[in-house]
């Protein structure tokens, strides 16, 4: 028998309109002055104005930082810290997509423990207490609201650093599906495919345990019930709610286990060809699942998931990804000649180690070739 231990998860406050409870949530963690970390698009959509109204009504002061960038780098986190350092902030709210969450979490490391983000690459390196953090996602994808890691690019090299600490985990994840209605269609597609891949990779990875398996399966069930409607731009609020909760549960699955080879193969595509993360993972996922079919433990899980949707799993995944009509690998500029370098990079990615069936650098090359060859 294996031994295992679980990690904490945030308190979830979920359902249409729960943004109205943000003041209560901040109060419950002792917050009186919030730094609300977001981006200009979310402000424009009107959500930030609504959140500020709710907080002020609860007697809580708010300062808005709306200069979050996509794929934040160390300099972006430092800019947020400098903005906040002289404010009497006692609570952070990450309000937006994964980048707002990562910037808020990263800022929390620097405000409370000093230094720079690369000092925290790894897990559990923050010595001092951190400020309470509340996550309010406006996309249904990364699951960052339920993870204790901030993903930040190293200045200069663009290396994606995972900086984790149990103290960085959100105290509350507030999941209001009404906030996801305004996300641009392309963002909805790419984040949905990312969330799907999180559930599918976490469900079979070698770090899985009975608790992460529960999260991954329920995440898959929720995501599967909403994703086709989202990809066909026909999602009702109930589909969005399903996706949002599914993405958060997938985040909990990752927090309690790991990911796999599709994420390992996606990272070099993002780093070298600027392929957006959800797109890059979606390109790789079906071939990685075919590769995993040789591993009995993965097959057992795939069969369970297939029974939930009553369709062959890999074919269904390909169908769903096809609905997004994304460019293929060649369309992203990848040529056969580039494969050795991509394979070498994929083989060094941490997440790949936890794929249920092991891959050598050569195996990664073979999978890229299969994807490229169609």
Closer of 144 and 242 to Fe ion (Cβ):
144
- Minimum Å distance from CB 117 to Fe ion? 19
- Minimum Å distance from CB 185 to Fe ion? 19
Buried b (16+ CB within 10 A) or exposed e, 182-217: ebeeebbbbbbbbbbbbbbbbbbbbebeebbbebbb
Closer of 21 and 257 to Fe ion (Cβ):
257
- Minimum Å distance from CB 199 to Fe ion? 11
- Minimum Å distance from CB 231 to Fe ion? 17
Per-position DSSP letters for 280-340, written without gaps between them: HHHHHHHHHHHHHTTSHHHHHHHHHHHHHHTS-HHHHHHHHHHHT----TGGGT--GGGHH
- Minimum Å distance from CB 331 to Fe ion? 21
Q: How far is 140 from 190, CA to CA, in rounded Å?
A: 10
Radius of gyration in angstroms for the set of CA atoms belonging to the chain, rounded to a whole number? 20
Closer of 165 and 194 to Fe ion (Cβ):
194
User: Taking contact as CB under 5 A, which single stretch among the options 162-170, 194-202, 221-229, 344-352 is the one that binds Fe ion?
Assistant: 194-202
The DSSP H or E segment spanning 64 is strand 61-65
| CA–CA–CA angle 54, 81, 96 (5° rounding) | 40
102 touching Fe ion, by CB under 5 A: no
- Minimum Å distance from CB 363 to Fe ion? 21
Q: How many residues bind Fe ion (CB under 5 A)?
A: 1
> First-to-last CA distance in the chain?
41
User: Taking contact as CB under 5 A, which single stretch among the options 18-26, 34-42, 191-199, 333-341 is the one that binds Fe ion?
Assistant: 191-199
Among 176, 194, 218, 287, binds Fe ion (CB under 5 A): 194
Helix residue spans in 121-236 (DSSP H): 185-204, 210-231
- Minimum Å distance from CB 84 to Fe ion? 28
Per-residue contact flags (x/-) with Fe ion for residues 327 to 346, judged by CB under 5 A: --------------------
- Minimum Å distance from CB 98 to Fe ion? 9
Closer of 102 and 194 to Fe ion (Cβ):
194
User: Taking contact as CB under 5 A, which single stretch among the options 40-48, 175-183, 190-198, 249-257 is the one that binds Fe ion?
Assistant: 190-198
Q: How far is 69 from 297, CA to CA, in rounded Å?
A: 40
Q: How far is 204 from 259, CA to CA, in rounded Å?
A: 8
User: Taking contact as CB under 5 A, which single stretch among the options 82-90, 95-103, 189-197, 340-348 is the one that binds Fe ion?
Assistant: 189-197
Sheet arrangement for strand 11-14: 11-14, 172-175, 133-137, 91-96, 33-37, 61-65
Give Cβ neighbours of residue 53 (< 8 Å, ≥ 6 apart).
none
User: Taking contact as CB under 5 A, which single stretch among the options 93-101, 105-113, 192-200, 215-223 is the one that binds Fe ion?
Assistant: 192-200
What distance lies between CA 352 and its chain's CA centroid?
17
Closer of 10 and 141 to Fe ion (Cβ):
141
User: Do residues 105 and 91 lie in contact, with contact meaning Cβ atoms separated by under 8 Å?
Assistant: no
- 134-163 residues in contact with Fe ion (CB under 5 A) are none
- Minimum Å distance from CB 104 to Fe ion? 19
User: Taking contact as CB under 5 A, which single stretch among the options 116-124, 186-194, 344-352, 361-369 is the one that binds Fe ion?
Assistant: 186-194
Closer of 76 and 194 to Fe ion (Cβ):
194
- Minimum Å distance from CB 97 to Fe ion? 12
User: Do residues 374 and 286 lie in contact, with contact meaning Cβ atoms separated by under 8 Å?
Assistant: no
Closer of 9 and 142 to Fe ion (Cβ):
142
**Residue with smallest beta-carbon separation from Fe ion:** 194
Q: The dihedral of CA 141, 147, 148, 154: what is its sign?
A: negative
Closer of 21 and 212 to Fe ion (Cβ):
212
Binding site for Fe ion (CB under 5 A): 194
């Amino acid at each position: 028998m294996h031994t295992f231990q679980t990690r904490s998860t945030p308190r979830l406050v979920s359902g249409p309109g729960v943004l109205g409870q943000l003041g209560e949530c901040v109060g419950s963690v002792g917050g009186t002055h919030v730094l609300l970390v977001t981006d200009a698009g979310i402000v424009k959509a009107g959500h930030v104005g609504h959140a500020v109204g709710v907080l002020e009504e609860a007697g809580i002061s708010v300062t808005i930082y709306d200069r979050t960038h996509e794929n934040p780098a160390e300099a972006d986190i430092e800019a947020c810290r400098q903005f906040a350092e002289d404010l009497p902030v006692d609570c952070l709210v990450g309000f937006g997509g994964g980048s707002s969450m990562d910037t808020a979490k990263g800022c929390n490391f620097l405000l409370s423990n000093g230094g720079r983000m690369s000092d925290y690459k790894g897990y559990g390196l923050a010595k001092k207490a951190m400020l309470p953090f509340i996550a309010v996602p406006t996309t249904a994808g990364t699951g960052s609201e339920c993870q204790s890691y901030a993903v930040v690019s190293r200045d200069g090299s663009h290396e994606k650093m995972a900086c984790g600490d149990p103290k960085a985990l959100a105290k509350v994840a507030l999941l209001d599906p009404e906030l996801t209605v305004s996300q641009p269609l392309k963002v909805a597609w790419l984040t949905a495919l990312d969330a799907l891949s999180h559930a599918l990779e976490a469900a079979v990875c070698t770090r899985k345990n009975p608790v992460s398996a529960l999260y991954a399966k329920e995440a898959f069930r929720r995501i599967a019930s909403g994703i086709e409607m989202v990809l066909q731009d026909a999602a009702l609020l109930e589909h969005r709610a399903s996706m949002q909760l599914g993405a958060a549960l997938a985040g909990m699955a990752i927090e309690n286990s790991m990911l796999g080879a599709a994420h390992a193969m996606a990272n070099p595509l993002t780093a070298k060809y600027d392929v957006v993360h959800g797109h890059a993972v979606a390109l790789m996922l079906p071939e990685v699942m075919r590769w995993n079919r040789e591993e009995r433990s993965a097959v057992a899980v795939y069969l369970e998931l297939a029974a939930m949707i009553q369709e062959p799993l890999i074919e269904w995944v390909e169908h769903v990804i096809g609905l997004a009509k994304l460019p293929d690998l060649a369309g992203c500029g990848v040529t056969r000649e580039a494969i050795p370098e991509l394979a070498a990079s994929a083989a060094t990615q941490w997440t790949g180690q936890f794929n249920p069936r092991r891959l050598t650098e050569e195996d990664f090359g073979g999978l890229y070739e299969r994807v490229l060859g169609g």
